[in-house]
Amino acid sequence: MKNGLDFLNLLNCDVSLKILKNLEDPSDFVRFSAVSRSWRQFVIENGLLKHLCQRMFPQLSRVDHVNELCGTAKGHAEAGSSNFMEWEALKREHRVYAFFARGCLSFALRECIYEAIIASSTDNDPEEGIPNTLEPRDRVGRRASYWSSKGQSNPAVPETLTYRLCADLCVITEINIRPFQAYFQIGKPIYSANSVRFRMGHVKSCMDNIVKESCQDCGNDKSCMDNIVKESCQDCGNEKFAWTYTSQEFPMAQENCLQNFRLPEPVLCIGGILQIELLGRVQRQEMDSLYYICVSHVQVVGRPLSPAFGIQTFEHSEKFVLEALSYEQPTSPAQSSSAPSLQMRVRDLEQILNLLRGNVVNVVEYGYEWELEDEESDEEDEDEEDRE
């Protein structure tokens, strides 16, 4: 604004919009709106922050409308003239998307997996089950920790691992996967996949209704709801999931290390379900000549938008409601209180109890014995070499 002239008044609306839609930082719109009331009104009336968020995350095109369940305004306005109600709805939309854009860029990056739901196949459940992939170590006590698929004669048969994230809305930036090396087998083979692909989405709304009805008797207890969701998803496989994003294929190396798969752009996971597709098998097991895929650890990194935001999905529709639950910056939760950490602690205690009881003499995996005495003698030899 120069010499008291407002360039928005000098340019037509279409030209002004074309200029402002090139802004890429939410803070630019905050500064622009602070110049004058007319400029702020222009931003709100034209939904420029909503447009920016949809450009950042195309998945937001599925939003039917937004709700505020915090502050003074809750839900939709129910009284007043049509112009007043329309203006209040635009302001509400502006507030929600402004904080949403801020959260997607400023909320803390962290591990996003809440629990493992289901694997497409498991060779020896629960010893080689998908919950083992939440453990960063490939050994717990004296036992190998990994998930294993069933063996296949056709190396092209894919596998999937499905996880529930810690929030219904998460901005995912990268997924890290560590293939498992069978150190107890001859040659120490690594059972990696040829490539990986990622899907993100939500449980279908009809499934949500089943969960709510089933939980009425338990007073909507969270642990009860978690168990019902998990059990129902295990029974139905992929049929009850709606996918809102599918990534490109990423090649996987046949290496025993945490391999990083960074997404080209941050992706908004709507509904808190992430699936890893493991495509192609590269390692044949010697004892049965079948191909397997084994994963030691999975890590999903991103920005959970809970408890600030939530969603409500519609049955038989791809649309959903974006809900603002709080306008406070969330604090980073203590990692020690997370569900996966608790599961790993319980399993560690079970291993310790088995050792104290003398139940563990050797570990047998894939038909091969791993002698504990041999490992201890190897460690003694290493200690002697270090002393020399």
Read off the pLDDT of residues 17-34 as tens digits, 9 standing for 90 and up: 888 888 888 888 888 888
Read off the pLDDT of residues 259-281 as tens digits, 9 standing for 90 and up: 999 999 999 999 999 999 999 99
Residue type, 351: Q
Read off the pLDDT of residues 178-195 as tens digits, 9 standing for 90 and up: 999 999 999 999 999 999
Q: Would you place residue 140 in the very low, low, confident or very high pLDDT band (cuts 50, 70, 90)?
A: confident
- d(C-alpha 237, C-alpha 259), whole Å: 26
pTM, two decimal places: 0.77
Per-residue model confidence (pLDDT) at position 218: 53
Is residue 384 predicted with pLDDT exceeding 70?
no
Are 388 and 169 spatial neighbours (Cβ–Cβ below 8 Å)? no
Q: Would you place residue 337 in the very low, low, confident or very high pLDDT band (cuts 50, 70, 90)?
A: very low
Are 66 and 93 spatial neighbours (Cβ–Cβ below 8 Å)? yes
* 374 phi/psi in degrees, rounded to 5: -65, -40
Provide the β-strand partners of residue 262. 174
Burial of 335 (C-beta count, 10 Å sphere; 0-12/13-18/19+): exposed
Q: Would you place residue 294 in the very low, low, confident or very high pLDDT band (cuts 50, 70, 90)?
A: very high
